[in-house]
Amino acid sequence: MAVIKGNIPKGEIDVKKFILDDVYIEDVCPKCGNMCSMDLGINYLSHPKMNDKDYYTVYCDKCDHDWDIPIKVNLNIQLL
């Protein structure tokens, strides 16, 4: 029977561009109240941290404001 052993470490994933097509982060701009949507297929995660707190910058094109939101990229390996 196949098993997975060991712990997945925290830290930076060894990829410069973590592209997630058809995945979006949406948030309300704290300055003007506009709903902002960031396409992770275009506005990819750059050098994301794995299994640890990180930040993603959201931009509002209505009022030219940007802010950071906390994110966490989890890695899950599963036997099928």
Per the domain annotation, does 2 fall within a domain?
no
Task: Give the range of the structural domain holding residue 34, as residue numbers without chain letter.
Answer: 11-72
Q: What are phi and psi of 39, to 5 degrees?
A: -85, 115
Query: How many domains is the chain partitioned into structurally?
Result: 1
pLDDT at 28: 97
Exposure string of 16-55, with b = 16+ CB inside 10 Å and e = fewer, is eeeeeeeeebeeebeeeeeebebebeebbbeebbbeeebe
| pLDDT means over runs of 10, the chain (80 residues) | 74 80 93 95 87 91 96 84
pLDDT at 29: 97
**Sequential DSSP letters for 18-56:** E--TT-EEEEE-TTT--EEEEETTTSPEESPEESSEEEE
Per the domain annotation, does 79 fall within a domain?
no
Per the domain annotation, does 53 fall within a domain?
yes
